Amino acid sequence: MKKECDFSGARRNPYARRLKKQITIRLEEATIDYFKELAEQMDMPYQTLINLYLRDCADSGRNLRPKWVDTAPDKVAESET
């Protein structure tokens, strides 16, 4: 290997902005099993599939509507009276 390398013709890594950060996240076992089965059908790692799904949600601006939150207008009006 050379003692000095010439980087004058080098370019920045085009994938650097897509680098991933390792985190810890708690998911229900059923959720993990779902993505593992789906990932196996698609022949890809389940963590990659979860990342793709979450990125799609973020890119499309999808809003979460939790099932446990009742946002029906008539229910809100009844509780205010």
CA 34 to chain centroid: 15
- Tell which wins on pLDDT, 3 or 70: 3
Q: What is the pTM of this model?
A: 0.60
| Domain annotation covers residue 71 | no
State pLDDT tens for residues 27-69: 999 999 999 999 999 999 999 999 999 999 999 999 888 877 6
Tell me the residue range of the domain where 37 lies. Answer: 26-60
Domain-located, residue 44: yes
Taking residue 52's Cβ as centre, other Cβ atoms within 10 Å add up to 13
How many domains does the chain fold into? 1
In a domain, 13, yes or no: no
Cα 23 from chain centroid (whole Å)? 12
Per-residue pLDDT of 71-81, as tens digits, reads 566 555 555 54
Does any domain span residue 20? no
Helices (H) and strands (E) in the chain, counts: 3, 0
Q: What is the pLDDT of residues 22-32, one digit of tens each?
A: 899 999 999 99
Asked if residue 55 is part of any domain, the answer here is yes
The pLDDT of residue 31 is: 96
Is residue 6 assigned to a domain?
no
User: What is the length of the chain?
Assistant: 81
